[in-house]
Amino acid sequence: MVVVGAGFAGLRTLHTFRERGLDVAVIEANAGLGGVWYVNRYPGARCDVESYDYSLSFDPDLEQEWRWSERYATQPEILRYVEHVADRFDLRRDVHLDTRMTRSTYDEQAHRWHVETDDGDWSARYLVMATGQLSVTKQPQLQGQEDFRGRILHTGAWPHEHVDMTGRRVGVIGTGSSGTQLVPVLAEQASHLTVFQRTPNYSIPANNAPITDEQDAEVKATYPERRERARRSPSGLGFKPNKQSAREVAEDDRRALYEQQWTTAGFGFLLAYYDLMLDERANDTAADFIRAKIAEKVDDPTTAERLMPRGYPFGAKRPPVDSGYFETFNRDDVDLVDMRETPLERITEHGIRTTAGEVELDTIVFATGFDAMTGALLKPEIVGRDGLTLREHWNAGPRTYLGVGVAGFPNLFVIAGPGSPSLLSNVLLSIEAHVDWIAGLLDHAAEQGADEVEASGQAEADWVAHVNERAEATLYPRAASYYMGAEVPGKPQVFMPYVGGVRGYRRVLEKVVADDYDGFRFTGAREAVA
């Protein structure tokens, strides 16, 4: 088996399949392990899922021995955890760093993948794409960029050496999760910070805090229950959905619940009422609450107004979970430029020019995000049956069966791919669920004497229709988001993740198993066996 990517998904795949006796090689383009956590080294980078949940669940000893220091772990701490996991399970010996897959071709006679890299070729029965959902950075090509005399950085490709921002005038373009995490920390370092905002965001406070020994002991005493709660929750975060509608409760009660969620729940605020992502008027109540919070936090009313998201539902773009983002705009050395009022005209030699004039800068940081979900899958060329490339197959948007398999691409599996809950969930839990499920699928193939497993075209078409139908019943498609493919000009606009939730999705997977992996075709070396 060749696995592409040595982040959490690739390492978990390696461990699981090696334990089952397969020869597994992981190829990784970066010089180190960790995937997104290897490259997103910008100041302030941290996870927006709680540490105890954003961790691997397959080994109880690992759970017990690792000590998280904060409720939301920083990037360096997560990377240390990845390194620990790699050492603990002796994973490094099968990881080939600094190796990029350039092309993979399916051999229909041999039922094998021929994998080409920039450091030699591989042949494997199975090809697993564990390339992540947010790993290809979106690098804007702004007019005049090449004229800028200072330094341009991207949050998702942050330099490994220390970047000293002391005394620098810094401009940040982008106010998604990365920008929102970066801004308060950069403001402490830079002599002056200017934030260029295109779309305001409904950011929720993280309420981050150190983890005490008592808290750690408490979680560790009941870890299996916590994991089970997460698996049974729609988000994979363990939050129990509130069965009430936001519209059916008295205003005071609603405000009290929002207030409580606001100060405790982080991402779980989105689940305060079951219909926040289903009903526009229910959603408005949460959006109004957040706008009022922004007004409370930001002293200058004009700046507060500019920071308030409007015109798209709360949650339809992934909400950032911040630590002091809005409050940062109360500093004298931080400015907000609203690019809707004063659009960016060009990058100049000395900074950024908008219609309101030039802002002089020493450093520009692009916090402009990623070519989400499909970027890394379509970067190399993947050639399936009859010479069809994945790019051709997906020219109108990604098509998968269950987010795992692709018709016409036998023995190719995607971990947490488009069509799975992936980015709408605790992705670590979704990754582990996929790896274990694929293990069961390949066991079934072995029992059948099959060496070729392929999603059928009909199963794929039905799943794509189901994913779209479920998304259309929600408010998710009502924003220009990366869920929709709206983040990259020219990308097909299709809703990519499955909105049915972790729990609902698990039921689907269980049903497919109960129906003898319905939707997959199992073929032996010579003949179809099922």
Subset of residues 250 to 279 that bind ligand NA7, contact rule: CB under 6 A: none
According to CB under 6 A, which one of 11, 45, 95, 134 is a site residue for ligand NA7?
Answer: 134
Nearer to ligand NA7, 301 or 489 (CB): 489
Least distance to ligand NA7 from the beta carbon of 344, Å? 7
Q: Kindly indicate which of the ranges 123-131, 146-154, 367-375, 516-524 contains the residues binding ligand NA7, using the contact rule CB under 6 A.
A: 367-375
Residue 332, burial from CB neighbour count under 10 angstroms (0-12, 13-18, 19+): exposed
Single residue of 190, 367, 404, 484 touching ligand NA7 by CB under 6 A: 367
Pairing relationship of beta strands 351-354 and 357-360 according to DSSP bridges: antiparallel
Of 322, 118, 95, nearest to 205 by C-alpha is 322
CB-based contacts of 92: which residues, under 8 Å, 6+ apart?
Answer: 33, 86
Nearer to ligand NA7, 343 or 440 (CB): 343
In whole angstroms, the minimum distance from the beta carbon of 454 to ligand NA7 comes to: 31
Residue placing its CB nearer to ligand NA7 in the complex, 174 or 418: 174
How far apart (Å, rounded) are the C-alpha atoms in residues 439 and 317? 33
User: Does residue 184 contact residue 324 with C-beta atoms inside 8 Å?
Assistant: yes
* Per-residue interface string for the shown chain with ligand NA7, residues 450-489, x marking contact by CB under 6 A: --------------------------------x----x--
**From residue 12, how far is each of 133, 167, 221, 418, 430 by CA, in Å?**
16, 43, 24, 19, 12
The reply to whether 496 sits near ligand NA7 by the rule CB under 6 A is: no
Beta strands in 198-303 (DSSP E): 204-205
Side-chain half-sphere CA neighbours of 500 within 13 A? 19
Question: According to the binding rule CB under 6 A, does residue 203 interact with ligand NA7?
Answer: no
Contact between 177 and ligand NA7 (CB under 6 A)? yes
Q: What is the length of the chain? A: 530
Q: Does 199 bind ligand NA7 (CB under 6 A)?
A: yes
Report which of 97, 164, 121, 123 is spatially closest to residue 23, judged by C-alpha positions: 123
Contact flag: residue 342 with ligand NA7 (CB under 6 A) = no
Task: Tell me if 426 contacts ligand NA7 by CB under 6 A.
Answer: no
353 in contact with ligand NA7 (CB under 6 A):
no
Nearer Cβ to ligand NA7 (36/95): 36
Indicate the residue among 351 and 410 with the shorter CB distance to ligand NA7.
351
Which region, judged by CB under 6 A, interacts with ligand NA7, from 111-119, 122-130, 300-308, 365-373?
Answer: 365-373
- Given a contact cutoff of 8 angstroms between Cβ atoms, the answer to whether 413 and 126 are in contact is yes
> Binding to ligand NA7 by residue 140, rule CB under 6 A?
yes
Among 7, 34, 174, 500, binds ligand NA7 (CB under 6 A): 174
Residue nearest to ligand NA7 (CB): 176
CA angle at 313 for the pair 312 and 316, rounded to the nearest 5°: 95
Does position 244 interact with ligand NA7 (CB under 6 A)? The reply is no
Q: Which of 175, 354, 422, 426 binds ligand NA7 (CB under 6 A)?
A: 175
CA 138/CA 323 separation, integer angstroms: 24
Name which of 103 and 198 has its Cβ closer to ligand NA7: 198
Phi, psi of 79 (to 5 degrees): -65, -40
Distance of CA 237 to CAs 54, 366, 390, 474, Å?
9, 30, 32, 20
Q: What SS3 class is residue 276?
A: coil
Rule CB under 6 A: which residues touch ligand NA7?
134, 140, 155, 173-179, 198-199, 318, 367-369, 482, 487
